[in-house]
């Protein structure tokens, strides 16, 4: 067993070599397993690194990158399906739901950009309850705020009486 002093935290004989390990990377509900990884990890501070004499770091990094791209494509396709189901154009979807640049939705749907989690959640809620889109349109216009401004009722009539 190969053991070294940890040069991350300084603990003596704490850095242990491992090999043949499998790690599962998870991104937005998608998983990928990477096998036969080797490296060093500290039993005291928990930090560590892949063995630079192997391709562990490269394979782990590539698997992560591929997973992010796959997740972006999958979520992009889902965004597009739900937007079409709601009969919204990309422009309308930006104005009503996402905000951001005018081409934000187009970039999400092409898988170039991962949409923020609250937007994904909102789209999934609208997918499940499409009738809520009408409520969303009302809320977006601020029509629900009418009740919040009753204190601004103007008192011109009273003022006139007093003078
Ligand atoms: Zn350490």
For 38-95, the pLDDT digits (tens) are: 999 999 999 999 999 999 999 999 999 999 899 899 999 999 999 999 999 999 999 9
Is residue 132, in this structure, part of any structural domain at all? yes
CA 143/CA 136 separation, integer angstroms: 11
Q: How many domains does the chain have?
A: 1
For 97-108, the pLDDT digits (tens) are: 988 887 899 999
CA 24/CA 108 separation, integer angstroms: 26
CATH of the domain at 107: 1.10.260.40
Q: Residue 52 CA to chain centroid, in angstroms?
A: 31
Which of these, 26, 28, 32, 31, lies nearest to 108 by C-alpha position?
28
Is residue 73, in this structure, part of any structural domain at all? yes
Is residue 53, in this structure, part of any structural domain at all? yes
Is residue 150, in this structure, part of any structural domain at all? no
For ligand 1, the distance from its centroid to the CA atom of residue 55, given in whole angstroms, is: 23
SS3 assignment, position 125 = helix
Judge whether 41 and 48 are in contact, CB under 8 Å.
Answer: yes
pLDDT score for 113: 87
Is residue 162, in this structure, part of any structural domain at all? no
Residue 156 pLDDT greater than 80, yes or no: no
The residues pairing with 27 across neighbouring beta strands, listed in sequence order, are 30
Which of these, 36, 39, 61, lies nearest to 48 by C-alpha position?
39
pLDDT score for 98: 87
Structural domain boundaries enclosing 92? 3-145
For ligand 1, the distance from its centroid to the CA atom of residue 39, given in whole angstroms, is: 14
Regarding predicted confidence, which is higher, 158 or 26? 26
For ligand 1, the distance from its centroid to the CA atom of residue 20, given in whole angstroms, is: 21
Residue 163 pLDDT greater than 90, yes or no: no
Is residue 157, in this structure, part of any structural domain at all? no
pLDDT score for 27: 86
Is residue 124, in this structure, part of any structural domain at all? yes
SS3 assignment, position 45 = coil
For ligand 1, the distance from its centroid to the CA atom of residue 9, given in whole angstroms, is: 4
Alpha carbons within 13 A on the beta-carbon side of 99: 5
Is residue 151, in this structure, part of any structural domain at all? no
Q: Tell me the average pLDDT of the chain.
A: 88
For ligand 1, the distance from its centroid to the CA atom of residue 44, given in whole angstroms, is: 5
């Amino acid at each position: 067993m190969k053991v070294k002093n940890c040069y991350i935290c300084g603990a003596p004989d704490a850095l242990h070599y491992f090999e043949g390990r499998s790690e599962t990377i998870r991104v937005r509900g998608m998983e990928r397993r990477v096998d036969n990884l080797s490296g060093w990890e500290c039993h005291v501070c928990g930090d560590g690194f892949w063995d630079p004499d192997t391709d562990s770091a490269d394979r782990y990094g590539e698997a992560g990158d591929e997973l992010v791209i796959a997740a972006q494509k999958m979520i992009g396709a889902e965004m597009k399906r739900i937007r079409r189901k709601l009969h919204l154009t990309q422009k309308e979807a930006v104005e009503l739901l996402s905000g951001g640049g005018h081409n934000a939705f187009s970039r999400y749907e092409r898988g170039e950009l991962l949409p923020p989690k609250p937007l994904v959640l909102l789209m999934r809620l609208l997918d499940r309850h499409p009738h809520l889109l009408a409520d969303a349109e009302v809320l977006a216009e601020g029509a629900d705020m009418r009740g919040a401004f009753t204190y601004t009722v103007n008192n011109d009539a009273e003022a006139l009486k007093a003078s």
